[in-house]
Amino acid sequence: MNLNCLIVDDEPIARNGLAEDIKEFNFLHIVGLAENAFQALQFLNNKDKPVDLIFLDIDMPELNGLDFLKLVRVKPLVIITTAYQQYAINGFELGVMDYLLKPISLERLEIAVNKAKEWILLKNHDVSEKENNDFLYVKCNGKYEKILFSKILYIEAANNYVFIHTIEKRYITYHTLKGIEGQLPPNQFLKVHKSFIVSRNHIDQIKGSEIIINEIRIPLSRNFKDQFQKTIINEKSLRKE
């Protein structure tokens, strides 16, 4: 397994020195060196070179590392590399994987990158587990019901309940949409609205900001529309090939 890395640091010596140290780890591949946060954003927007791990300095001109993290909507794993100890709490609150103080020893760097590697391996294992299962269990009326993924049309959230609409019937469970989403294989289901998840296999039509499944009109939220369209277009392109 290889991890694509981006180094973001305004100091050339620190940037190039870290790049040399990273070459010691054969599972790390540097896809870019950024002098500032704005260059880093450009690298992240380049879909041809996806970034798995960012080594991020904090004290940079115009936009510091912590403010950069707040701007990035879907961010890779992040390891902070800084000379300033006082930002550690802020960094961990923003979900960074590790916090390295300069000068960074090779031994400390090894601990951090191995932690990132193990996290991604675990995440990939969890995704694989979901994709190998073909059902989920939900509690309805005091008993657990087994529901096949292939029969789910769409899922709807209302207050503290979730309605799972299948080909045969509707199931009502006291749950959160996020909790149900975590049990679904991402290659079969898409969240299209804060209150709706749809089965990709059962989409009949897409009309503007609506998805039609089994004659039911489901809203396609503006917040999810771009990702939905990219997924559907990529899926169609793969089928053509």
The rounded mean pLDDT for the chain is 88
Model pLDDT for residues 18-47, shown as the tens digit of each residue: 999 999 999 999 999 999 999 999 999 887
**How many other β-carbons are positioned within 10 Å of the β-carbon of residue 77?**
22
Q: What is the pTM of this model?
A: 0.56
Q: What is the pLDDT of residue 126?
A: 57
Q: In this structure, which amino acid lies at residue 180?
A: I
The structure tokens 């990939």 sit at: 124
In the chain, list all ranges with CATH 2.40.50.1020.
Answer: 135-240
Cβ–Cβ under 8 Å, residues 165 and 173 = no
CA distances from 92 to 6, 53, 80 (A): 19, 15, 9
Q: What is the pLDDT of residue 234?
A: 58
- Residue 218 above 70 pLDDT? yes
Give the residue among 66, 67, 48, 36 at the shortest CA–CA distance from 4: 48
- Residue 236 above 60 pLDDT? no
pLDDT category at 240 given cuts 50, 70, 90 is: very low
Q: What is the pLDDT of residue 228?
A: 87
- The domain made up of 135-240 has a fold known as OB fold (Dihydrolipoamide Acetyltransferase, E2P) (2.40.50)
Q: What is the pLDDT of residue 55?
A: 97
- The least confident of 7-11, 160-164, 223-227 is 223-227
Q: What is the mean pLDDT of residues 66-82?
A: 89
Q: What is the mean pLDDT of residues 64-74?
A: 88
> For residues 211 and 231, which has the higher predicted lDDT (pLDDT)?
211
Q: What is the mean pLDDT of residues 71-85?
A: 89
Q: What is the pLDDT of residue 241?
A: 40
Percent of the chain predicted with pLDDT > 70: 92
Q: What is the mean pLDDT of residues 55-76?
A: 90
- Residue 237 above 50 pLDDT? no
- Residue 205 above 80 pLDDT? yes
Give the residue among 188, 209, 207 at the shortest CA–CA distance from 198: 188
Model pLDDT for residues 110-151, shown as the tens digit of each residue: 999 998 988 887 676 655 555 567 898 888 988 889 999 999
Model pLDDT for residues 149-198, shown as the tens digit of each residue: 999 999 999 988 999 999 999 999 988 898 899 889 888 999 999 999 99
In the chain, list all ranges with CATH 3.40.50.2300.
Answer: 3-130
Who's near 58: CB < 8 A, 6+ residues apart? 64, 65, 66, 80, 82, 84, 87, 91
Q: What is the pLDDT of residue 14?
A: 95
CATH code matching the domain that covers 3-130, chosen among 3.40.630.10, 3.40.50.300, 3.40.50.2300, 1.10.10.10: 3.40.50.2300
